[in-house]
Structure 1
Amino acid sequence: MDVQAIRNLIIRVNNLETQNRHLEQLISDQIEQLHRTIELPDEHACEALLIFTMDYIDHVPDFLEAVNEASRQVGIHRFISPFLDIAEENFMAITKDQPVSGLDLLLDKAYFAHRLIEEVNDQYLVKTGSTLIPMNMTWANLIVHSILGEEFANQLDENVEETVDKMMRSQAIYHEKTFREFVQDRSAEEWIRIWSRWNCLSNNLGIELKFTSAA
């Protein structure tokens, strides 16, 4: 997985965003339509939301790198890497499909990556009764879902769900003894300790990513 390529793309598009302000315009257009459960600051709401979405995009390579490194440390990288490859391929495909002029074109790519890992967690929870990755992206993803618009975001959600479901059904590695042993024997405290090193995504809207033993 070439995390640095993702970082370089984000840096390049960040520079374009300062000129074109496409993401800022998208947020300005959508802010009145946001999900009713999202509480925005009374003042400078657009600015706060812009900072959040930029952090959300910037967090993608750190998040994928965290998943990659943590899964290596506990010996389950083979089970995680196929999803990381999908997230990377989808994120970088934008450079082939169209000219990138602003961060608005990376927001749906970031959403796909974050939702992919979230869906892996959900599927894993159904199978084992606990999450694979102790990171809660629900609120962050809900905000971006609203910014992207209900119809488009729902299409992305369907793509993510179908991808994860198909992968887990078709890949033999998810039925191997090693994977079952990890489920049974992993130390929840150690797993959370490893992950806490990467608790790096914060925002200015009072929505936090929390690490808890319940996760």
Structure 2
Amino acid sequence: MTPESITQIIAQAVAREAAGGQFQQALRARAEALHGLFRVEADDPTAALYGFAREYVEMTPGLIHCVRICAERAGVGALFHPFLKTATGYFAHPSVLLAGYEGLEGLLIKAYQCHRLMEEMYENNRSFRNSHLLEPEATQANLLVHHLIGEPFANELDQAILITVRQIVGSGDYYDLDLAPFVAQASDEAWQWMHEYWTNLLARNGIHFRFSFRSAL
């Protein structure tokens, strides 16, 4: 499955949601019980959370495409192929864990799997961790989606992702692998759109953390 195919699936789900509003109904209850880490400064918290969730889902194909392009330009496309195959596989061949989750709610879970996979890839390599490519806001967004999905299911997804990463990486050598060529590619304009998207995603929808990851890092 290509990023373009995923984009089409998302567009169809957004259109169905506009007609039925089932996901927004589910978010209404979650907005009322939102975790204390988050503050929604909007007249309609449900609409704010829906706007955030929709954008989070819609950016997923772009993330996959951006990683692929940067890897190919850096000459490490083969190394990133398993990660990208797994990321697109979340949409093409969803886990049995997602049985019963449809529409935008199901796509939010798949997008979360994809974003968390990339986050773990980032956390498990020295070159990535020293690059500051992943904005704190990306971690914040993933944490919010974790709470929107709800526990214990979100914890099950996280555990499955950790197992998947270990299977893909195969050994501890990945941590010390020199991925500076990828970092160099990701530091140019090919990555800038995603940097801006992540940095403003929460604030753009009137959602704020009660503490700053930046001050804690």
Q: Which interval holds the TM-score relative to the shorter structure?
A: 0.7 to 0.9
Q: Distance in 2 between matches of 1:51 and 1:63?
A: 18
Distance in 1 (CA, whole Å) between partners of 2:184 and 2:128 is: 17
The match for 1:51 is 51
Quote the residue 1:144 is aligned against: 145
- TM-score (structure 1 length as normaliser): 0.80
Equivalent residues of 1:140, 1:207 under 8 A apart = no
Matched, 1:21 2:17: no
Letter of the structure 2 residue corresponding to residue 192 of structure 1: S
* Separation of aligned partners in 2, 1:121 and 1:207: 24
Deviations 1:153-206 (A, max 9, x none): 11110011110012112699x59xxx94544xx485654224214333434135
Q: By how many angstroms is 1:74 displaced?
A: 1.4
Identity over aligned pairs, percent:
25
Q: In the TM superposition, what whole-angstrom CA distance separates every residue of 1:69-120 from its partner, at most 9, and x where no partner exists?
A: 11111112111121111111111235x9868852112110010011010011
Displacement of 1:3 after TM fit?
1.0
Give the corresponding residue for 1:81.
Answer: 81
Deviations 1:54-77 (CA, angstroms, capped at 9, x unpaired) = 000101101111111111111121
The code of the aligned residue for 2:35 comes to H
3-state DSSP of counterpart to 2:38: coil
**What SS does the corresponding residue of 1:66 show, helix, strand or coil?**
helix
Call closer, same or farther: CA 1:153–1:180 in 2, change over 3 Å. closer
Please state whether the residue corresponding to 1:35 is helix, strand or coil: coil
Distance of aligned partners of 1:75 and 1:205 in 2 relative to their CA distance in 1, 3 Å threshold:
farther
Q: Partner of 1:39: helix, strand, or coil?
A: strand
Q: TM-score, normalised by structure 2?
A: 0.79
- Corresponding pairs, count: 203
RMSD: 3.2
Structure 2 counterparts to residues 35-184 of structure 1, below 5 A: 35-94=35-94, 102-125=103-126, 130-131=130-131, 133-136=133-136, 137-169=138-170, 174=174, 180-183=177-180
User: Structure 2: how far apart are the matches of 1:18 and 1:42?
Assistant: 20
Query: Are 1:17 and 1:102, in contact at CA under 8 Å, matched by a contact in 2?
Result: yes
Give the 3 Å change call, closer, same or farther, for CA 5–190 of structure 1 in structure 2. closer
Counterpart amino acid of 1:111?
Y
Amino acid at match of 2:53: T
Which residues of structure 2 form unaligned runs of 5+?
Answer: none
Post-superposition offset of 1:21: 1.3
Runs of 4+ residues over 6 Å off in structure 1 = 96-100
Secondary structure of residue in 1 paired with 2:125: helix
